[in-house]
Structure 1
Amino acid sequence: MVAHKKVSVARLKTGVERVSVSIDLYNEGSVTAYDVSLSDDSWSQDTFELVSGDVSKTWERLDAGSTASHSFILESKVKGMFHGSPAVIKFRVPTKAAMQEAYSTPILPLDILADKPPEKKFEWAKRLLAKYGSLVSVLLLVTLFIYMITTPSKSSTAKASKKRR
């Protein structure tokens, strides 16, 4: 059983940040896992408030080679660094009597409600230009070339009108 824990942080307003947590389970084994339970208790109720979802989830079975996902959303109103622990996955396989235990990938430390410097004006435009500028210029040149080839020139239209007379 392999589990990957992902976290994204978005600032809603001053003093409140929303933390979205997503955990993906992959049954990489060759047999079906039964009584699969996921628990992520690293989110302290003193620091985080559960907005939607639940920090735990159970599945009756997870077939070999299949995946399952679980997500929940928290809000934080306390400023500071947060170090989360991996989520715990417990499951049973038919070949072993004891419950098996697996852990998700850990998350990087989160700097909740950090004082971020304001983004400079046109900084996003500079990043877009640096990332996609060459692609846009090539597409414009190709479009201009096709336009020049497909549109008749003034001299050829003048010649065609003289031939009709």
Structure 2
Amino acid sequence: MANPIPRSAVFAVLALLLLASPCLAASDVPFIVAHKKASLKRLKSGAERVLVSVDIYNQGSLIAYDVSLSDDSWSQELFDVVNGNTSQSWERLDAGGLISHSFELEAKEKGMFFGAPAIIKFRIPTKAPLQVAYSTPILPLDILAERPPEKKFEWAKRLLAKYGSLISVISIMVLFVYLVATPSKSGAAKGSKKRR
């Protein structure tokens, strides 16, 4: 049977955390958060392209300087860069700011691909060495996989299943307003006869 942790130790750790938290909260630094996304786009020629975008946020209270992005997880044996660059740099990223970078690759081989996080380096004015942050990783990509052909009207069926009753009510209301707002032909003919 394991020894229980004494209450005095738990209270001591909690007190230490409470005392240290204002010091951590008061420190003014940039705080970089990066989100990496990738999606596949099948071309008519049978080739497949990977669209990659990285959003870099500065959630801190100070400006981050000399910001650079490097995403070297895309091997040249497996991918060709078609549009953009896998690395980029910026002079600064303001507090609360956002930088977005995207590039496009063409896949050379079929198979599953697991991408690593992108690396973001930045400088804090009060510290000489570069700081490093990592983006979120991407979900595995099944490159050039056999996919069943998309069924036409599949999206329409899903919309009708989800919003069918709402669409019916709106259609009836629009038809009612149209009928009320549009003069009838018989009423227009009677009005023209009276003028003569």
TM-score range, shorter chain: 0.7 to 0.9
> Residue 53 of structure 1 contacts residue 73 of structure 1 at CA under 8 Å; is this kept in 2?
yes
Q: State the aligned residue count.
A: 165
Gaps of 5+ in 2: 1-31
Gaps of 5+ in 1: none
Q: CA deviation at 1:37?
A: 0.7
Is 1:89 aligned to 2:120, yes or no? yes
The match for 1:127 is 158
| Distance verdict in 2 for CA 1:150–1:45, change over 3 Å | same
| Distance verdict in 2 for CA 1:164–1:108, change over 3 Å | same
> Structure 1, residues 55-77: CA drift from partner, whole Å, max 9, x if none?
00011111111111111100002
Work out the percentage of aligned pairs sharing the same amino acid: 70
Of the structure 1 ranges 106-115 and 137-146, higher mean CA displacement relative to structure 2 is found in 137-146
Name which of 166, 169, 190 aligns with 1:138: 169
TM-score, normalised via structure 1 length: 0.86
Name which of 146, 149, 153 aligns with 1:115: 146
**Which amino acid in structure 1 is aligned with residue 88 of structure 2?**
K
Q: State the SS of the aligned residue for 2:43.
A: strand
- Larger % of strand: which? 1
> Structure 1, residues 38-69: CA drift from partner, whole Å, max 9, x if none?
00000011110100111000111111111111
| Distance verdict in 2 for CA 1:15–1:78, change over 3 Å | farther
Q: Decide which structure has the larger Cα Rg and report it.
A: 2
Identify the structure with bigger relative contact order (alpha carbons < 8 Å, sequence gap 6+): 1
The match for 2:178 is 147
| Distance verdict in 2 for CA 1:108–1:164, change over 3 Å | same
- Larger % of helix: which? 2
